[in-house]
């Protein structure tokens, strides 16, 4: 019963709805290949819930996708930013497979 009380408390936190809404906005923008919009939405969600592993790997994913459509130094910069967010994800939750997958993708693109 204690776990459920904690879950209810977390869901009742003022920023939770805002973070969830920004995540949904980011996911929609990502699906539409509007990567800059996705990154902006995910950044807002991260500001509300700092250290959220799911948000961190989604930011990394969006930067990698953005890098795929950029040229030259801009491309590599996106991959380096993706690496930073994926590393943060893994530090926050080392069991998060998506964090590891996007870290590997970032490193592979940088190499």
Rounded to whole angstroms, how far apart are CA atoms 35 and 16? 23
pLDDT of residue 88: 98
Q: How confident is the model at residue 31 (pLDDT cuts 50, 70, 90)?
A: very high
Percent of the chain exceeding pLDDT 90 equals 81
Over the stretch 57-73, which tens digit does the pLDDT of each residue have? 999 999 999 999 999 99
DSSP-based three-state secondary structure for 32? coil
Report d(CA 78, CA 9) in Å as an integer: 36
Each residue of 77-93: pLDDT tens digit?
999 999 999 999 999 99
Average pLDDT over residues 21-25: 94
């Amino acid at each position: 019963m204690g776990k459920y009380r904690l879950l209810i408390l977390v869901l009742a936190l003022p920023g939770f709805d805002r973070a969830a809404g920004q995540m949904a906005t980011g996911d929609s923008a990502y699906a539409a290949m509007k990567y800059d919009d996705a990154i902006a939405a995910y950044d807002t969600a991260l500001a509300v819930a700092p250290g959220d592993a799911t948000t961190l790997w989604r930011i990394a994913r969006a930067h990698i996708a953005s890098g795929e459509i950029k040229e030259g130094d801009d491309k590599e910069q996106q991959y380096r930013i993706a690496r930073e967010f994926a590393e943060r994800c893994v530090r926050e939750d080392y069991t998060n497979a998506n964090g590891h997958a996007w870290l590997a993708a970032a490193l592979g693109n940088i190499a």
